[in-house]
Amino acid sequence: MGIIGAGNFTKMTVLPALKKSGAPIGYIASANGLSGTHLAKKYDIAKSTTDHRDILNDPEVGLVMITTRHNLHAHGD
C-alpha cells in the first residue's frame, strides 16, 4: 500500500488505524518530504518520497490511499 499525503488527517487518524489493523504500508508521499519522512520513521514505512508517481509506478503497490485535501485529488475542468 502507498499513501499520498502526510498531513494531520494521515498522522492523527489514518496511520494509527492502519497500524492497529496491521496493514502493510510500503510508501508515503508528502509535498516537501519532511512530514512524510517523519511518519515513515514513526510507523516503519519503508519508503518516503516527494513524488507521488513513485508510488503509482511501483508494480509492487496494489493499493493507493489519497489523503491530501480534496482540491488536490484531481485537476478540474
What is the CATH number for 12? 3.40.50.720
> How many structural domains are present in the chain?
1
Of residues 38 and 74, which shows the higher confidence score?
38
Confidence band for 68, pLDDT divided at 50, 70 and 90? confident
77 is a domain residue: no
53 is a domain residue: yes
pTM attached to this predicted model: 0.86
41 is a domain residue: yes
Residue-level pLDDT at 73:
56
Q: What is the pLDDT of residues 11-67, one digit of tens each?
A: 999 999 999 999 999 999 999 989 999 999 999 999 999 999 999 999 999 999 999
Residue located via cell numbers 516503519: 44
Q: Provide the domain limits for residue 28.
A: 2-72
8 is a domain residue: yes
Burial 52-75 (b: 16+ CB within 10 A, else e): bebbeeeeebeeebbbbeeeeeee
12 is a domain residue: yes
